[in-house]
Structure formats: C-alpha cells, structure tokens
Amino acid sequence: MIVLAAGRGERFAASGGTVHKLRALLAGKPVMDHVLDAVRASGLPYHVVDADPARPGMGDSIAAGVRTAPLAAGWLILPADLPLITSVTIRAIAFAPPRAVTVPVVGGQRGHPVRFGSECYQELLDLQGNNGAAQLIRARAATDSIAIMALDDVGCITDVDTLADLQRAEVLLRNRCA
C-alpha cells in the first residue's frame, strides 16, 4: 500500500488552517495518525510517500511509491487525508477479486483507496504532475478492466482539504463512536 502524504495542503491553509492538514487534530490526534492507525491495523505492508521538491505533483508521488515495490502483485493508493478510513475497508479492497483497477464507491461517489493490479505497473510509473491516476482509471474503465466496489464506509470519501472538512470529519467520527 502506498500512503500519499506529499501534498502541500494549500486549500487547508487558505481555509484558515494554521498547521498542515495532516497534522491538524481530529479527536485529539493528527489526521495522518488516524490514517496510519487504520493502515497498520490492516496488516498490509505500506510505504509513506512524504513531500519532496523533486516530486511536485500527485502523479510523481504515486510513481515514487510504486518504485518502492516494483515486484508487487498490485498497489493500493491511499491519500493520507482520509482519517475515517477503516482497516476493514482497506482489507476488503485489497482482497477483492483481482481486476486491473478496483475503485470503492460510497453513495455514488468514487473514493479511496484505489487498487491497481500489476498490469498497471508501467502506467503508474509514467504518472507525473498533478493529475494522479484519474486518467489511468478512465482509460481502464473504457476497456472494462475496472471493478467498482460498492461500500458503505464514508471513510473512503471523507477527505480533509479545508477546516470545514475537518469539522465534518469530527462530527462523523463522533457519530461513528456513539
């Protein structure tokens, strides 16, 4: 699994955030710690891709992460700003029937992590810039080599890009624990 923690968090700062969004506190713990707790609880191997000026965009970060495990049977790509993701969801996506691409969908909205099979290796390595893997997903959807996995875990779609997102995640987390 590749955990993407290389973003600059500009929207969070623009919304009034005073720390990087991954260090912002959610229920007294940094957003990224929530993500890493779920990743560790999944039992799957993982690699965190941190910020590096040599990798200015999401595509560059994904490619860097894939390079750390070139012989893998596939890769889960998980942005580090999804603090409500659960280990159960991570494992469900990881162990779903193999397809070139597996995308979780919650209430009609595409989420994360996205699983890419080994047949996507070169395409993932070729990613660069800010586009991430969306174009690869669209291309694979056109060839019918994509699996849509319907889930009910809002953690797949609850990312923290602004202070309002952080507040919404706080409410969802509180309701989940109630």
Of residues 55 and 97, more confidence is placed in: 97
pLDDT in tens, 67-115: 998 888 899 999 999 999 999 999 999 999 888 999 999 999 999 999 9
How far is residue 24 from each of residues 77, 134, 170, measured CA to CA in Å?
22, 27, 11
**Two structure tokens written together for 53:** 């000026």
Q: pTM, whole model, 2 decimals?
A: 0.93
User: Where does the pLDDT of residue 132 fall: very low under 50, low under 70, confident under 90, or very high at 90 and above?
Assistant: confident
User: Residue 124: its pLDDT value, please?
Assistant: 95
Is residue 76 helix, strand or coil? strand
Q: Tell me phi and psi for residue 27, to 5 degrees.
A: 55, 40
Q: How far apart are CA 33 and CA 14, in angstroms?
A: 23
Residue with tokens 């919404």: 168
Q: Which helix (H) or strand (E) holds 116?
A: strand 114-117
**Two structure tokens written together for 27:** 């229920």
Topology, domain 2-177? Spore Coat Polysaccharide Biosynthesis Protein SpsA; Chain A (3.90.550)
* Domain boundaries of the chain, sorted by first residue: 2-177
